[in-house]
Amino acid sequence: METPAIPLPKDEGEREILDNLVAIRDHLLLLKRDRTKYIRTQDVMLLYEQVIDQVKKLNEIRKGAVTKAENRLDKVLESCFQLLSLFFMTIGRTTEAPAAYALTSTIKRLLDHLTESGLFSAKDLDSMWHTLSTLDDVLRNTDAKHSPYLVELLANRENLCKETLTELRTKLDRLAKPLRDVHEKLISILRSMSLANTKAKFSTTEVQKLQNQLKDIDASRVNGNFVSVEGNVLEGSEEVADLVRRCLLWSDTVLERKGAIPDSFKSQYDKLVGIRNDLEKLSITQAWSLRETDLYDYQRELDKIDESRVDGNFLDDEGKPAELYVQRTLLYLIRRSYGYIYYLMISSEPVSEALLPYYNQLQTLKRCLVEVKNSGGVSSARDLYPYSMKLNSIDNLRVDGKFVVGGDLPEGQGAVNELLAECFDLAYELRVAAEDNVAQSD
């Protein structure tokens, strides 16, 4: 990747490993870009094993050595693990250790931003805590075939994320229970204003409505404090009052600027809006259009922009820092984009992309059948013909009970077969109920 500022390794052995990893990374990038065929498990596993072999050699070279600053080898190795992690998701191995690498990277980024801004909700933290708890199980039950180096690396990253989460949770726990809902509402309003501020067409009315909600919350204070029903000042009142003040100031700024970004930061802004919009579309259509490896390019671009900040500030071409309005707007877009990447990763199904078309069709069929059942069923078995025909067409694709694609047996056979069986069961229940109704009417 673009790492000219990162020094080359001095050790000859490390240089050789670097060359090997660059070749593997390039192979992974070519495989990622090839849309003419599905990604096969055996291709991914071959490249994974090659990376692990290089890691073993690296550990031998660095054994007992004093920890040094990162060199280009570390960066390329990180790129390899990041790509492999997304490949594991793409082939449906979402519950194996390598798949967790990209997810922990994204969670770490999100937590760093939440810590920096101090603006987060309980929902943000609960979701990430749940995800990390799931990764706990993955690492505990990891197969011996996975590198101990990778497992240890993931465990350390997970613990680091949990420590940060605990610190952030402690800050929210200081708020009295009645104020937690107010705090949650304020964070939601703040994000809605930032969204309105970055839309292609700025809506003054939309922001004014949000500002009015803020004013209502502000007006609920008594002598400047948030109080209980008994009239006692609630714990955390000062902190939430300060958040109200910050939100009101932001609403004034947004209404004044109306989404106008100075030319010196327009290219960065346009690039971030483009990334955010692409990821937003993927979050809506991900079941049908997402190949998890596509997230690599977005993540790298975001990392590059995020890491270009100096002392937390964005700089223009002349090295001048962005004003507060521009700073907050750009940071919002970065955080929102990382949020979409996180959502897309945790939504990844344990099914290879080769089987996803069948899996997605069956999920749609299941939703339709459940809806039919909940709305009272069908009047006759004939009404189920379209569903039965589709189910049978998918069932007929199996060979000895398995879905074969291009001579391969893609990952996720169990998940697709289980879903197929559920759909057949639902269709059978509906047919029996319809036949019983006809018999009773006769």
Q: Return the closest-CA partner of residue 272 out of 225, 333, 327, 323.
A: 333
* pTM (global) more than 0.95: no
What is the C-alpha to C-alpha distance for residues 192 and 175, in angstroms, rounded to an integer? 23
Return the residue matching tokens 């994204």. Answer: 106
Return the residue matching tokens 């109200």. Answer: 244
Burial (CB count within 10 angstroms: exposed 0-12, middle 13-18, buried 19+), residue 275: buried
User: CB atoms < 10 A from the CB of 229, how many?
Assistant: 6
- Which residue positions in the chain have pLDDT lower than 70? 1-5, 65-68, 143-145, 287, 441-442
Q: Hey, where are the domains in the chain?
A: 1-93, 177-260, 356-441
pLDDT of residue 5: 65
3-state helix, strand, coil in the chain (%, to 5): 70, 5, 25
Dihedral (CA of 242, 244, 245, 246) sign: positive
In whole angstroms, how large is the CA radius of gyration of the chain?
26
What is the C-alpha to C-alpha distance for residues 96 and 92, in angstroms, rounded to an integer? 9
Q: What tens digit of pLDDT does each residue of 209-242 get?
A: 999 999 999 999 999 999 998 889 999 999 999 9
pLDDT of residue 2: 47
8 Å CB contact between 383 and 354: no
Q: Token pair of 441, please? A: 């009417």
CATH topology of domain 1-93: Methane Monooxygenase Hydroxylase; Chain G, domain 1 (1.20.58)
Q: Return the closest-CA partner of residue 104 out of 133, 76, 126.
A: 133
What is the C-alpha to C-alpha distance for residues 89 and 96, in angstroms, rounded to an integer? 9
